[in-house]
Structure 1
Amino acid sequence: MLAVEGLVKKYGKQNAVNDISFSLQGGEVVGLLGPNGAGKSTTMKCIVGLLRKTAGKIEIGGHDHLSVAAKKLFSYIPETPHVYDLLTVWEHLQFIAQAYHVSDWKEKAEQWIEIYELSDKRDKLGRDLSKGMRQKVSICCALLPDPELLFFDEPMIGLDPKAIKNTKRIFNELKQRGKTILVSTHLIDSVETIADRIMIMKNGNIIGNDTLANLKASFDQGGDSSLEDLFLELTKDE
């Protein structure tokens, strides 16, 4: 579903992403972990086309990542949710439905609004929403077209505990339906229970890419460390 080969992103002479390669299969939830400045968000923005890559090849569903065919296949939820100031919550969903030609969109929109407890906010303008509410609107808009591939950059930040629980449940349901999800996060415990595979980045490099069990077997001799312990060990300064 996603193939990244030799991705490089430079800012001047500095490599933010240093020649990384990885792939994601259908029905897979992959957690992308790393300290601040590791290159997680830069990698994701290069994939979705918000940043111009310096070098490398990226394909989504066999299509070049910048093509219209590729863009029809994925949704992206940024770390900082962006909404339109003068559109209501409902109008955001209507806009996405029309842009992606979603059939029966009103019924689907009602379902997502109910799940994320936005029913009483449906007529509120984007400029009047809190960060948490903006995050919920962004997630609802991303889920409405029923994409094959979803990119979540820090999806849990700003969400209340119930919304976090619902989002984890939705991840599992999407996975069962064969959808592919890449989740970038600092909240290690939020991804430990849902990810099939963990990718760990440090200084623009991927230093670990495997199932949690295999990562523990490779780097933890005792075998009883948590993902947090493993993460801190792998990303510590030398």
Structure 2
Amino acid sequence: MLIVNNLVKKYGKQNAVDDLSFELKGGEVVGLLGPNGAGKSTTMKCIVGLLRKTSGEITIGGYDHLSVEAKRLFSYIPETPYVYDLLTVKEHFQFIGQAYGVPNWKEKTDELVQLFELEDKQDKLGRDLSKGMRQKVSIVCALIPDPQVLFFDEPMIGLDPKAIKNTRQIFRNLKEAGKTILVSTHLIDSVESIADRIMILKEGKIVGNDTIANLKQQFVQEEGTSLEDLFLELTKDV
């Protein structure tokens, strides 16, 4: 569903993303982990077309990632959620539903509004929303078109504990529906229970890419090792 081949993103002479290659299959939830500055957000922004890659090839559903066909297949939830200042919450959902030609957008939205407890916020303007509320609106907008692939960049930041729990449940529901999800985060425990596979970045390179169990076996081989221990082992300064 997603193929990234030899992706490079340079800033001057510095490689922010250094020759990354990986694939995501349909119905797979993959956690993209790494310390600050490892290249997680840069990788994701190159994939969705917000940053121009220096070199490499990226396809989504068999289409070039910058094509209209590819853009129809995915939704992107950025780390800093963007909403329109002068649209109400309800108008955001209407705009997305009509822009994507989603016939049942109202029914779908009602379900998501209840899940994220936004019923009493629907007439609020975007400029009056807290970061957590903006994040909820951003997630709902991303789900309305029923995308095949979803890219979440630090989705849990700003959410309250109940919303985090609901977001994890949405990940499980999306996985059961055969959707493909790439989640970038450095909140390790937020992805451990939902990810089929983990990719760990360090200085723009992949230093681990496998199931959590296999990575533990390869790199730690100690009973009771947590994902956090594994992460610290793989990203430590040599």
TM-score, normalised relative to structure 1: 0.99
The whole-number CA distance in structure 1 between the counterparts of 2:186 and 2:192 is 11
- 8 Å Cα contact 1:79/1:154 also seen in 2: yes
Which residues in structure 2 correspond to 1:78-227 (within 5 Å)? 78-227=78-227
Q: What residue identity is the alignment partner of 1:119?
A: E
- 8 Å Cα contact 1:61/1:70 also seen in 2: yes
CA-to-aligned-CA distance 1:74-131 (integer Å, 9 cap, x gap)? 0000000000000000110111111111011111111111111111000000000000
The whole-number CA distance in structure 2 between the counterparts of 1:89 and 1:142 is 14
Task: Describe the SS at the equivalent of 2:233.
Answer: helix
- Structure 1 unmatched runs, 5+: none
Aligned twin of 1:8: 8
CA-to-aligned-CA distance 1:160-217 (integer Å, 9 cap, x gap)? 1111001101101110110000000011001001000000000000000000010000
- 8 Å Cα contact 1:34/1:201 also seen in 2: yes
Alignment: residue pair count: 238
The whole-number CA distance in structure 1 between the counterparts of 2:118 and 2:20 is 39
Task: Describe the SS at the equivalent of 2:87.
Answer: coil
The whole-number CA distance in structure 1 between the counterparts of 2:58 and 2:223 is 35
The sequence identity of aligned pairs, in percent, is 77
- 8 Å Cα contact 1:33/1:40 also seen in 2: yes
Task: Describe the SS at the equivalent of 2:20.
Answer: strand
Judge which range, 91-100 or 43-52, deviates more.
91-100
The whole-number CA distance in structure 2 between the counterparts of 1:48 and 1:237 is 30
Q: What residue identity is the alignment partner of 1:116?
A: F
The whole-number CA distance in structure 1 between the counterparts of 2:154 and 2:105 is 26
Across the aligned residues of Structure 1 and Structure 2, the Cα RMSD in angstroms comes to 0.6
Q: What residue identity is the alignment partner of 1:175?
A: K
| 2:234 maps to 1:234 | yes
- Structure 2 unmatched runs, 5+: none
Aligned twin of 1:49: 49
The whole-number CA distance in structure 2 between the counterparts of 1:221 and 1:130 is 44
The whole-number CA distance in structure 1 between the counterparts of 2:177 and 2:118 is 25
The whole-number CA distance in structure 1 between the counterparts of 2:2 and 2:35 is 23
Task: Could you list the structure 1 runs, at least 4 aligned residues long, displaced by more than 3 angstroms after superposition.
Answer: none
- 8 Å Cα contact 1:216/1:223 also seen in 2: no
Q: What residue identity is the alignment partner of 1:70?
A: A
